[in-house]
Amino acid sequence: MEDPMNIDQVVKWLDTSMEEACDVAAPWIGSRRPRRKAYWWCEFVADLRRRCIRARRSWQRAKKRRRSEETIADLGVHYKHLRKDLRLEIGRRKSAAWQELLGSVDKDPWGLPYRLVLKKLKTASLGLTEVLEPEMLTDLLESLFPPNDEPDPVDDWSNFVWDNAWATSPTEVNEAIKKATSSWTKAPGPDGLRMAVWRRSTREFLHWVSHLFNLCLSKGEFPLEWKGANLVLIPKENTPSAGLPKVRPICLLNDIGKTFERVLEIRISRWQEGSPESDVSEFQFGFRRHWSTCDALRLLREIISSAVNDGGFAVVVSLDIQIAFNSLPWRIIRQALKEKLFPSYIRQIIDSYLADRTVWYIGRDGRSHSWPMEAGVPQGSVLGPVLWNLGFDCILDIAEDDENSNILCYADDTLVVVTGRNCELTCLKASILVNRVIDRIRGLGLSVATNKTEAILFTVKGWRSPELDFHRGHTGGIPTKHKVPRGHDRCALDIFGPLPICDWKNGACR
């Protein structure tokens, strides 16, 4: 390493040193393992095999030494009889073992038969990017990683002043490494080094890693090698036979880069704990410590119960955001960090983190290809969920001015909840609030899938519904009315269609 203050040289030196250490500790070629005994093998079969081999060798020696034809013929017949007996015995042993295997299925469903079948099913197969047509793959990648057509300005950090109080220590790096999953079965990033390898690194390596992280923070540069990711497309259920397949893109990043992300994630969390103005809304339940879907469901139940038990109504609308994590513009994240008054060194390194990102995939030709990532947060990263919560947080404060309206979120899953004493007025308020939320979401550069948007009305048992007006807003915000017939037999509908009516206490819908 020529210059220890050069980030690229330190990154390459760390990777090369770790590869050399792995090669020394685990040679590529080891001693040959002993052969495993066949499942039908037994001592009787071994004795038959020894006798068969002995007879074959006697027959072959007789032919080489030019014995009499009668002797050679007798030895040959004797060998063939022994070989037939050996094959018949192996067949009987295989048949008996098969029957025993079938009989063990009922006794132990997760035993040897299950493991044998599972081993057959785990055969390697080509990835989805290797089997799709190039034109279809291009369309799929464009839909998963949409380009950013809007300007994305970055702040000028020429006057940035580094403070040594922001420096990382080997202890902090070691804690971040210990928090990561170190399974040997977990797929590594482009460098091929798993977290289990980094966990076994020496203290000297930790000092160098800490030195590298401090260089990145002081210069505001996130290494380019850590921005590249291997793309894995996981098919979803109910994939249509025609058109583009439904997939979930997973980005496999370098574990050492994810360790740096984890250090930043811990510092962001600590800053939010000490600065409440930098924290996200209390109604965001996704990707937060000590928060879960159970808390979101408990709050939703309390809101609905409070309204219905008092003789009122509750309208709940769920919104589905299309390719949310991959389409959130980077300028929205930068703006949220600035408005929430995060430290300058964190904003500077995030600016570098959200630039020049690339995903790599294997094409149908067997070669590696790259695709630029111009928006969104990588699915599989450590900082991605944190940055999503910060960028999407402005949606949750729309309903703060009305105590009967709430917006609940779990990551990108958004619920709009409106309660009231009058059914028509409650539906009207819900439609207005939903349109405000949709307009704000579109202002972030995201889009809502209206065909997946669902609404439901909660009320008491025995309530007879008049014809309701549920409003739908256009792009210009002008509402149009949609008449809802009395009663309905479905429990979840499109927001722009009839509202189902549910008995909250008994769980019945009509």
Kindly state whether residue 474 falls inside one of the protein's structural domains: no
Instruction: Give the confidence band of 147 by pLDDT, cuts at 50, 70, 90.
Output: confident
Q: How many CB atoms lie within 10 A of CB 201?
A: 18
Query: Could you give the percent of the chain with pLDDT greater than 70?
Result: 86
Query: In this predicted model, what pLDDT tens digit does every residue of 363-387 receive, in sequence order?
Result: 988 899 999 999 998 888 999 999 9
Instruction: Give the confidence band of 210 by pLDDT, cuts at 50, 70, 90.
Output: very high
Both 450 and 403 in one domain: the answer is: yes
Instruction: Give the confidence band of 291 by pLDDT, cuts at 50, 70, 90.
Output: confident
Which residues does residue 362 pair with via DSSP β-bridges, in sequence order? 368
Which of 118, 144, 166 is a domain's end point? 118
Kindly state whether residue 383 falls inside one of the protein's structural domains: no
Question: Is the CB of residue 387 less than 8 Å from the CB of residue 377?
Answer: yes
Instruction: Give the confidence band of 122 by pLDDT, cuts at 50, 70, 90.
Output: low
Structure confidence at residue 123 (pLDDT): 53
pLDDT at 203 over 50: yes
Both 224 and 360 in one domain: the answer is: yes
Kindly state whether residue 87 falls inside one of the protein's structural domains: yes
Q: How many CB atoms lie within 10 A of CB 322?
A: 14
Kindly state whether residue 96 falls inside one of the protein's structural domains: yes
pLDDT at 480 over 50: no
Q: Report the pLDDT averaged over residues 458-481.
A: 46
Structure confidence at residue 26 (pLDDT): 63
Kindly state whether residue 447 falls inside one of the protein's structural domains: yes
Of 253-267, 334-348, 458-472, the least confident: 458-472
CB burial of 159-197 (b: ≥16 within 10 Å; e: otherwise) equals eeeeeeeeebebebbbebbeebebeeeeebbbbebbbbb
Instruction: Give the structural domain span for 270.
Output: 126-281+330-374
Query: In this predicted model, what pLDDT tens digit does every residue of 64-83 receive, in sequence order?
Result: 998 999 999 999 999 999 99
Which tokens hold the place of 359?
């995903």
Structure confidence at residue 28 (pLDDT): 59
HEC secondary structure over 229-286 = EEEEEEECCCCCCCCCCCEEEEEECCHHHHHHHHHHHHHHHHHHHHCHHHCCCCCECC
Query: In this predicted model, what pLDDT tens digit does every residue of 7-39 receive, in sequence order?
Result: 888 888 888 888 777 765 665 555 666 777 888
CATH of the domain at 453: 3.30.70.270
Q: Which helix (H) or strand (E) holds 344?
A: helix 344-353
* DSSP-derived pairing of the beta strands 228-235 and 357-362: parallel
**For residue 30, what is the DSSP state?**
-
Structure confidence at residue 494 (pLDDT): 35
pLDDT at 484 over 50: no
Number of helices (H), then strands (E), in the chain: 16, 13
> What is the Cα gyration radius of the chain?
33
Structure confidence at residue 29 (pLDDT): 59
Both 310 and 439 in one domain: the answer is: yes
